[in-house]
Each structure stands twice: as C-alpha cells, then as structure tokens.
Amino acid sequence: KQEVTQIPAALSVPEGENLVLNCSFTDSAIYNLQWFRQDPGKGLTSLLLIQSSQREQTSGRLNASLDKSSGRSTLYIAASQPGDSATYLCAVGPNQAGTALIFGKGTTLSVSS
C-alpha cells in the first residue's frame, strides 16, 4: 500500500529565505506526483505536476524535483514571501488511469515579514 510522508510537518522562516519541502513515498511505481497549496479552510490549488518520466518542473519561484527510484520529491521555494504561508500537500498518482491521488499530511509553512 502506497504511503506518502511529508517532512517537516511545520516550518517557520523569515521572508526572503529559500526553503525545501520534502515528500517521500513507499512505492516507486507511480505515474505522476503533484504538489498542491491549501490555504486555511480552502480547497486545493495545483502548483506543479511531475510525470514519472520527468526529473523536475518549474513555475516561477517554485521548483519541484522527482527521484522516483528513491521515492522522493522536493519542492523548492525561492525567496519566500508572507503570501507563501499555507499548507503544501504532496500527492502521488498511482497509475495512468487517473485513479484517486494519495496524499501526504502536508507541510504547514509560515513566512514572517
């Protein structure tokens, strides 16, 4: 059974810092991996989607990497801003059929000004 773990559970940094969020999964046979942002009491915003054949994806100040063989992904946030404060969720797509995603518990990020 696939399990997704995110470390750390919470992170507080001053504005301007570069930071890394970690995600690990137990079964390397995945189709894709996705990073989401969730603001308190809100739904999910998709940030980056990495296919299993890809090593990384970039969008603005965000960069996500994937090492499928080791079961790891990282989300790198450059020059963090207070507006980046949210919970970041990692989710694994197990197959091409588009079955349900398997989520980690998330990392709650707080960026202070």
Q: Smallest distance, Å, CB 56 to other proteins?
A: 18
Q: Which of 16, 105, 110, 112 binds other proteins (CB under 8 A)?
A: 105
Q: Computed over its alpha carbons, how large is the radius of gyration of the chain?
A: 13
- In 3D space, the residue among 98, 79, 70, 95 whose CA is nearest the CA of residue 15 turns out to be 79
| Tally of CA atoms within 13 A in the half-sphere of 49 that contains its CB | 7
In the complex with other proteins, the residue whose CB is nearer, 34 or 65, is: 34
Q: Is 11 in the site for other proteins (CB under 8 A)?
A: no
Residue 18 CB, nearest distance to other proteins (Å)?
Answer: 26
Count of positions on this chain that bind other proteins (CB under 8 A): 25
E-strand stretches of 1-113: 4-7, 10-14, 19-25, 32-38, 44-51, 56-59, 62-67, 72-77, 86-93, 102-103, 107-112
Judge contact between 2 and 92, C-beta under 8 A. yes
Footprint (CB under 8 A) of other proteins, residues 35-94: 36, 41-44, 46, 49, 89, 91, 93
Binds other proteins (CB under 8 A): choice among 27, 98, 110, 112 = 98
Note the residues at the interface with other proteins (CB under 8 A). Answer: 4, 31-32, 34, 36, 41-44, 46, 49, 89, 91, 93, 96-106
